[in-house]
A and B are shown apart, each in its own frame.
Chain A
Amino acid sequence: MTSADVREIVSSLVPPGSTPVPRKAVAPSATRKPEGISRELYNLIGNAAPTLVAQVSRPKFKARPDLGRARVKWEFREFDNPARKDHLKLHHWQRATDTGNYRFARYNIDSAPISYIDEEYEAVYGTIPAEIDISLLASTSKEDTPWTKEDTDYLFRLVREYDQRFIVIIDRWAPPSGIDRPIEELKSRYYGVARSILERRLPEDDPNKAQTLAGFNFDKQQERKRRDYVVALFNREPEAIEEEEALYIEVKRLEQNERRFTKDREDLLRMLAGVESGLGTLKVGDEDTKKKKKNGETSADSPATPGGGSTKKSKAEAKYVPADDPTNCIVRYDPATVSVGSKSGVPSIFMRSSRIPVPKPSVATHVTQLLAELQISPNTLVMPTKVNVEKLESLLNTAGILIEMKRSVDRLDQEIRVLKARHKGENVEEVEMEHGEDKGKAVASRKRSMSIISNAANKRQRV
């Protein structure tokens, strides 16, 4: 409740027209000057002496701004919270005109984790005895003991309860079997089971099946390696960090030198021989990393670790990429977008709103126009949740495609018109011939726009 709301409520309690009427100042009655005093003197000392009070008693207040707001009635009302399953009635102040659903009900969303029924579990894993073999426990190290169904049930319950926050889950972990396991083991079990359950559940012809399942890939070994690497990064001595930074700057400097050298040579050759040197530019680190990144994004076997929030691919160009990073699934966020914590090498928290996609610069203005027509403003996404941002992104993509398509259609139209104009006055055979050519062109360009679409579709899948 803001102070404005409170003022509104209070003002609605005061009946209108009861504003206090300012009292009229009583004019002092003029008194006569007594005899024997000169008028000038009397004016200074007598009753009529100008007083300070007269000057300060009537302050001029600024006129109250008329906000043009009507008086709003507020009521103290009982309300129903649709998220509650009981009959608890709480009371709050509400505008009398506000009726309908509880305004916070729409924030009650579930993260929709996977769950299974016993039959599904048994179909995948068979009926595993509830009790673990004690001898087995003794022979293998504890974390390698096979999972029981009870423990798996418990894990899935916790995942639901804590919305897949594995850090919290490992803290609360007290399974029926009493076996403590490391966090990657829990993740691996959850994603493994969820994957096999989904694999059975989804129909074979579901076009998104492979993609959905890929979301549940989890490589325990990879995750362990990643964690070890992060620990190593974390434990670097301050001197090591400094040295690394110095080296990095040195490398950058060398690269720059090299680039300048190539350019100079290129210029020199062109000037002297008037030809391109043909030597090609020296490959420098920048392009390399870009290529690597692309490969990493498209290859299906890239180590996907869902749930490890820090491993999400970021679009921001990673500036500082030590060689081991890709193999250890470490992504460094662009310090410009995420300033906190990037120094330590561990990505920190970020606002999801800072990850709202922006349209491609080439079509940006058109896309913005389009969105404005749809009355969607990407800057004021009320809740930038994962789902919403994904939707917005796909909308932007489609808008981009639409605009590119429109452009190529326009271009073709233009070409057709030009050609048609040229054909006028020429003989029929030629026209037919040209027409055939034209068709060919149209087909070719249609192919082109198709490929744009599929490109875009690919991109969307990757995101």
Chain B
Amino acid sequence: MAYGGDEVNAIVLDMGTYSTRIGYAGEDLPKVNMPATYGSVLDPDTGLFKHYVGDEGVNIYRPKMRLSNPMREGMIYEWNAVEDVLNYAFHSQLRCNTADHPILFTEPPWNNKWNREHLAEILFEKYQIPATFVVNNAVCSAFSAGKGTALVVDVGQDISSVTPVVDGYALTKSIQRQPIGMSLLTNTAYMTLTTPTLERVDAIELHSHQLISSKKPMGYNAKPIYTLRQDRLLNADQSWRNQMSRRVVEDWIEVCSGALETTFTVEEADKKGTKFYEFPTGYQAIFKGSERLHPAEIFFNSSALNRIRSYGPPPIAENHPSQGRMIPLQEALPLQNLIAHALDLQDIDVRSSLMQNVVLVGGGSMLPGFQERLLFEVSNLTRNKNYKFHIPTVPWERRFSSFLGGSILASLGTFHQLWVSREEWNEFGPDILAQRCK
């Protein structure tokens, strides 16, 4: 029981736009990390939709399975499949009886009251949990880096956000967020890969492996020879095919992409060397530094940003709009400007502590060179040498930072007095959540 910990078998639920992370408090990794998207297939007999969740639900080919993402801006937007997701996590993966486990869930700082209360209601009513609590995921990320006061920079799937956290409270008025996230990077990389170049005269075909029945081993840069599964091609839903192609691009990004540590020039980027990648079709290519590292310029470079503005904004939540303002894509700023702007809005008495405790998290921070580049750009922009970045060195601590922070919080002995119990929920109604979880 060192470090003030006291395990009460709490479960931490962290839902993001890209993946949902669920696990036990006190552990540093989620037990379940499943895609946020779910598949639905119309059952012709009953006329009802059957939902498929989890990796094996989504990534497996099923005739006419439509994929959709119930999350927008990190908030639950579509509630049809939420219970399927929770059932899958609690019953098939964790195999636990939820009546024994208090559940702490995270929410983005701009979540609305209705959403939060609705999820709590589902947990209490459908899963009979004894108690719940909701925390801001930026606060969790700060905790995961061991900080109570931090400027949390989260480059997530749909959104990059900068959230000041002071003594464990997110300062909601000065949060900056804009729809420049990893999904936009995926779009950009998609364009890069499907645009022919001098060396690659053909666009790369991004069929996913589920659609390929056979392929031949080929040399570098040779035109691939493969056959597609025609039956699947005919019956697969377009949304599923798109999503699977995006998975191919995401994998390419993970293997090949990254950011250049300094201002981008073709010569400088080419010095970073080439990388080899084999696509599911059997096509093997070598990518030059300038090609690999250019997509990530959308985060730092306004001219690269200008190019992608034409892609149009990602979908936003409409039925229960988020709180606060999202900077529209047309006005989006490079990340360093976003950080500097957020800092400018801070009270002078906390500004320097925030500057010295910048915590970088989210899928974007996984890109090699991303942190170095951000630090470079920030100190170039502001000429202030006092910025200090605290970037967890263990990669999954960055990806699962909000889970980890929640996990730390829910296993603290001093925390257990804060749970909103079933009794309180019944007595005071949903308003208790806002009062307790400040």
A contact set with B: CB distance below 8 Å = 1-2, 5, 81, 83-84, 86-93, 103-104, 107-108, 161-162, 165, 167-168, 170-172, 183, 227, 230-231, 234, 237-238, 308-310, 340-341, 343-344, 346, 348-349
In whole angstroms, how far apart are the Cα atoms of A81 and B412 in the complex? 13
10 residue pairs, one from A and one from B, having the closest CB atoms: A104-B413, A83-B417, A88-B421, A90-B8, A346-B352, A171-B171, A168-B169, A86-B423, A107-B414, A104-B414
Q: Which one, B8, B349, B352, B423, contacts A167 given CB within 8 A?
A: B349
Is B315 engaged at the interface, CB distance under 8 Å to the other chain?
Answer: no
Residue of B nearest to A5 (CB): B1
Q: Taking CB as reference atom, which chain B residue is nearest A236? A: B384
Tell me if A90 and B130 are in contact (CB < 8 A): yes
Which B residue's beta carbon lies closest to that of A105? B417
The closest CB in chain A to the CB of B425 belongs to A86
Does B386 sit within 8 A of A, measured CB to CB?
yes
- Enumerate 16 A-B pairs (CB-CB under 8 Å) in ascending A order: A5-B1, A81-B416, A86-B421, A86-B427, A88-B419, A88-B424, A90-B131, A92-B8, A167-B347, A183-B347, A231-B348, A238-B385, A309-B349, A341-B386, A346-B351, A349-B353
- Residues of A with C-beta under 8 A to B424: 86, 88
Chain A residues within 8 Å of B416, by CB: 81, 84, 90, 104
Does B423 contact A234, Cβ atoms closer than 8 Å?
Answer: no
Instruction: Report B164-190 residues with CB < 8 Å from chain A CB.
Output: 166-167, 169, 171-174
Complex: A234 Cα to B352 Cα, angstroms: 8
For B356, the closest partner residue in chain A by CB is A341
Chain B neighbourhood of A104, CB < 8 A: 4, 6, 413-414, 416
- Per-residue 0/1 for B405-438: is the Cβ within 8 Å of any A Cβ (1 yes, 0 no)? 0000000011011010111100100000000001
- In Å, the complex CA distance between A173 and B6 comes to 35
Within 8 Å CB of B421, what residues of A? Answer: 84, 86-88
Give the shortest distance, in Å, between A265 (CB) and chain B (any CB). Answer: 43
Partner of A171, one of B172, B413, B423: B172
Q: Are B130 and A88 in contact (CB under 8 A)?
A: yes
Whether A92 lies near B6 (C-beta < 8 A) is: yes
**Cβ-Cβ contact count across A and B, 8 Å cutoff:** 109
CA distance in complex: A2, B1 (Å): 6
CB contacts (< 8 Å) of A167 on chain B: these are 166, 171, 347, 349-350
Q: Which of B336-370 contact A (CB under 8 A)?
A: 347-353, 355-356
CB neighbours of A108 from chain B (8 A): 414, 417
Considering the complex, give the chain A residue whose CB is closest to the CB of B6: A92
Interface residues on B, range: 35 or more
Q: Are A343 and B130 in contact (CB under 8 A)?
A: no
Query: B417–A168 contact, CB under 8 A?
Result: no
Q: Determine the distance from Cα of A170 to Cα of B349 in the docked complex, in whole angstroms.
A: 13
- Is B26 on the interface with A (CB-CB < 8 A)? yes
Q: Which of A91, A103, A162, A341 contacts B352 (CB 8 A)?
A: A341
Cα A165 to Cα B171 in complex, Å, equals 12
Assess whether B26 is in contact with A1, with CB atoms less than 8 Å apart: yes
- Chain B 123-159 near chain A by CB (<8 Å), digits 1 or 0: 0000000110000000000000000010000000000
A8 to chain B, nearest CB (A): 11
B383: CB under 8 A from chain A? yes
| Nearest chain B residue, comparing its CB with the CB of A228 | B348
Decide: A238 near B383, CB < 8 A? Known: A104-B416, A107-B414, A183-B347.
yes
* Among B8, B9, B385, B423, contact of A87 (Cβ-Cβ < 8 Å): B423
* Separation of A234 and B356 alpha carbons in the complex (Å): 13
